[in-house]
Structure 1
Amino acid sequence: MRRKLLLSFIVGYVIFIAFIYFYLFYFDTGAIPAEFKGSSVDPETFLTAEELVKSEEYSKIRNFLFFLEVPLEWLFYLLLLFFGIGKLFEKWAEQTTRMKFVHNALFTFCLSFLSFVFFYPLKFLRYSLSKKYGISTQSFHDWMRDLLINFWLDWLLLFIVVSALYWLIRKSEKRWWLYTWFLAIPFAVFLMFIQPVIIDPLFNDFYEIKNKELEERILMLADTAGIPSEHVYEVNMSEKTNALNAYVTGIGTNSRIVLYDTTLERLSEDEIVFIMAHEMAHYVEKHIYFGMAGYLVLLLGLMFIIAKLANKIVNKYGRLLNVSSMKKLSSFPLILLIVSVLTFATSPISNAVSRHIEMRADIYALQLTNDQEAAVSTFQKLSQVSLSQVNPPILVKWFRYGHPTMLERIQRAEQFRD
């Protein structure tokens, strides 16, 4: 039975990948509609012939890898369940010590390490691809360093989540999902608070911006927007990427205005000010808090569905999946599988909400700066440097884009001028 189900999944996976390949490379190539030819939206007006080719190639390959990885993650969890690997990890942890928190630490470490090894080839392929197309400037040594730091952070987070989750499941089999959701609220806020001052500096160096005239201009803009900030921070991303970015991060006293040094090097002051106005909009319009509230509402629904589905699956197919009870750590790969499927299924909704929020931020930036020319040139340069498609295929937009497409953003800026 296990072999038959696994074979069926693999066959379905191959068919899905064949469909995605045909869709991305032959059916919907993301071409610009005829009415936009020669306009500021047309990439032929702001990209060289070489950049056009690289943009199309890189975007298609990167999108293909995304759709390749999602079902691969499901396959990974199915393999853990069908071959009883989670059960073996749990048994080994129990034989090692009687302390529950050590059980959790050992189990989550084994699971994290196996996941790291399983997905490493795909991560390395992405890294190699970004190097080939000039997006990444990071050496392999530094890339591995960041990957390992991320591994330990992910393991620590997973250990905390599993410890709390299974303590609650053992205390209340019926309402653990609700209690888990309650705990998630302060935990999520805590992570947002510490990220700018503890987590982010593990990967990059942050320092006050060197261009004090530009800092003064940005701080004046922040003051106009009602954002309390004494400094603008610069981060040395040029050691890792050619990508351009800026953001306002953190909450409360730990909020920060941050600019990539690549952004400072490649954009004009007017373009930088427009980007910062966009990021400030998220603070002014409370997008961080609305986003957090929306995330928690979605999480509540997902937790309820996960609890109901997991219990039914364990009761009906527990033996097939090598899971005897939800109280056992061996049920965790099943929870991860359900989470992954539901997250993918709901991503078009969450991405649509995110695109609306980003659209609001673009409008706010246009109103605050009243500089449509800087907006258009900024979007063009962002597309140029990231080698992203101006008009991506609709499935890519639904499942990958948390921002409006560049076609939509440039067009909106042009229309704002009118």
Structure 2
Amino acid sequence: MALNGYLLFIVSILVLGYLLELTVALLNLRSLSPRLPAEFAGVYDAVQYARSQEYTRATTRFSLVRATVSLILTLLFILAGGFNGVDLLARGFGLPSIPTGLLFTGLLALLSAVLSLPFSVYSTFVIEQRFGFNTTTPATFVLDLFKGLGLAVALGGPLLAVIFWLFEASGPRAWLYCWAASVAFVLVVQVLAPVVILPLFNKFAPLAEGELKEAITRYAASQRFALQGIHTMDGSKRSTRANAFFTGFGRFRRIVFFDTLMDKLSTAEIVAVLAHEMGHYKLKHIPVMLALSILQMGLLFFILSLFLNNQGLFAAFGMEHVSVYASLVFFGFLYAPISTLMAIGFNIVSRQNEYQADRFAARTLDHGAESLISGLKKLSVSNLSNLTPHPLHVMLNSSHPPVLARIEALRRLQTGQVDG
């Protein structure tokens, strides 16, 4: 394959991205401290703390192996003309351009899934199993794969077909129409997720009557928050990790607690976690983040429109035919640096949102700061969280602040030192 400017740029992006990931991972490993932070004295014992650090080492090393294999295979696939081979295979069926494009992207997605499968199996059944997190059975794992594939075909296929058609038929304003179609798709999925998509993977049940439900109802009433439903989810079906979240909009809105959370936290701590999640809702974090995502989507489609059917880009991948559908795939390589910068910005906003939601919980609950701190500690111990991540790792990869930083901010709030 002849070397051109686009190919050199893409290879550079891939290699530099890998080197950045390697650097961050090594810095994160070096930041592991054998000394238990004073805030966690009496919460972590020496054995648990050592185990949490070993978990960070194991997952980090595994991610580096995965990244290394991914880089090598991607470079070999590009340089060997793999994309052209898949395109010729898809064109061999003699279908119109849009079905051919769906077949092309589907084959690439299937190839990626097959190559990723061994890593997913090892992560779930070796690493997560070793550290006591995994509760996924092989049957559930396989069923999840097929359900995910079915959703990708049922939801992603029609959206891709619309995007292909719009770019082929709508002229210079196609990117605007693609943006509008994608926004409509995202909003519909947001509404349907709690009632149609999530129940495909987990069982949801109304929270049982009792002390916890009464405490939640009282708190919601104090905040003039109309509860549409409080549910528990069988998170223990796949993992021992604990979580809680809001999902959906309007009458489809749900508050969801993992069943594992119910087993690990006290009533006051669970209500504090709920107050944090409600803080996101009350402070408009959810629609703001959604709006930012929509703006990012518009930028993506606009820049994409500038590279459609670019001869130099197709030459970089050794393609014999130029097409809209392959343009979308190849543009993903060019967009990677912008995507990284966007992710950093999103993470900054998200971390600030977490601090604000913590403050909301602390201010709207009696002893809210202490209950939330206690809950955060228990969840950190339960999830073997890294208590001392490197700042560069946090900047690039973390949507939540480190738990110690969150606790310090809550302590300052307790003493009247209000953060900005």
Residue number among 315, 322, 329 corresponding to 2:318 in the alignment: 322
Partner of residue 337, structure 1: 333
Q: SS state of the match for residue 319, structure 1? A: helix
**Corresponding residue of 2:418:** none
Partners of 1:8 and 1:416 lie apart in 2 by 46
Name the counterpart of 1:399. 396
Q: Map 1:198-217; keep pairs closer than 5 Å.
A: 198-217=196-215
The separation in 2 between residues aligned to 1:178 and 1:94, in whole angstroms, is 28
AA in 2 matched with 1:176: A
Deviation for aligned residue 1:362: 0.7
The alignment partner of 2:315 has SS state of coil
Provide the C-alpha distance between the structure 1 equivalents of 2:13 and 2:351, rounded to a whole number of angstroms: 33
How far apart, in 2, do the equivalents of 1:343 and 1:390 lie?
27
Deviations along 1:387-416, one digit per CA (max 9) or x if unpaired, are 111221112211221111101111122222
Q: Distance in 2 between matches of 1:30 and 1:182?
A: 48
1:357-382 Cα distance to aligned partner (Å, 9 max, x none): 11111111111113222111111011
Q: Using the alignment, how far apart are the partners of 2:195 and 2:19 within structure 1?
A: 46
3-state SS of 1:355 partner: helix
**1:264 equivalenced with 2:262 (yes/no):** yes
The one of 348, 354, 357 equivalent to 1:352 is 348
State the TM-score, normalizing by the size of structure 2.
Answer: 0.87
Name the CA shift for 1:9/1:410 in 2 (closer, same or farther; >3 Å): closer
Measured against aligned partners, the alpha-carbon deviations of 1:313-340 in whole angstroms (never above 9, x if no partner) come to x332422313467634333321332344
**Counterpart-to-counterpart distance in 1, 2:192 and 2:324:** 32
Provide the residue aligned with 2:237 in structure 1. 239
Distance 1:37 1:207, change over 3 A: closer
The CA distance in 1 between the partners of 2:216 and 2:360, in whole Å, is 15
Q: Secondary structure at the match of 1:29?
A: coil
Q: Residue in 2 aligned with 1:385?
A: 382
Does residue 26 of structure 2 align to residue 29 of structure 1?
A: no
Which of 109, 131, 147 is the equivalent residue of 2:129?
131
**Maintained 8 Å contact 2:351/2:400:** yes
- Is the Cα contact below 8 Å between 1:351 and 1:401 reproduced in 2? yes
Structure 2 residue 103 is the aligned partner of structure 1 residue 106: yes
Q: For the Cα contact (< 8 Å) 1:168–1:180, is it kept in 2? A: yes
What are the superposed Cα offsets for residues 240-259 of structure 1, whole Å, 9 maximum, x if unpaired? 11111111110111100111
| In structure 1, C-alpha distance between the alignment counterparts of 2:225 and 2:322, rounded to whole Å | 47
Asked if structure 2 preserves the Cα contact closer than 8 Å seen for 1:24 and 1:64, the reply is no
Q: How far apart, CA to CA, are the structure 2 residues paired with 1:155 and 1:211?
A: 40
**Where does residue 183 of structure 2 map in the other structure?**
185
SS at match of 1:233: strand
Give the stretch that moved more between structures: 15-24 or 130-139: 15-24
Distance 1:382 1:213, change over 3 A: same
Question: Is 1:49 matched up with 2:46?
Answer: yes
SS of the residue aligned with 2:246? strand
The RMSD of aligned alpha carbons is: 3.0
Provide, for residues 50-95 of structure 1, a one-character-per-residue CA deviation record: whole Å limited to 9, x for no partner: 2111211212333454566567666665555444434443433343
Unaligned runs of 5+ residues in structure 2 are 416-420
Amino acid of the structure 2 residue aligned with 1:327: S
Matched, 1:361 2:357: yes
Unaligned 5+ segments in structure 1 are none
One-letter amino acid of the counterpart of residue 148, structure 2 = N
Residues 85-164 of structure 1: pairs in structure 2 closer than 5 A: 85-127=82-124, 128-164=126-162
Residue identity (%): 24
Which stretch shows the higher mean deviation, 126-135 or 251-260? 126-135
Cα distance between partner residues in 1 of 2:183 and 2:70: 27
Task: Answer whether contact 2:314 2:322 (CA < 8 A) is retained.
Answer: no
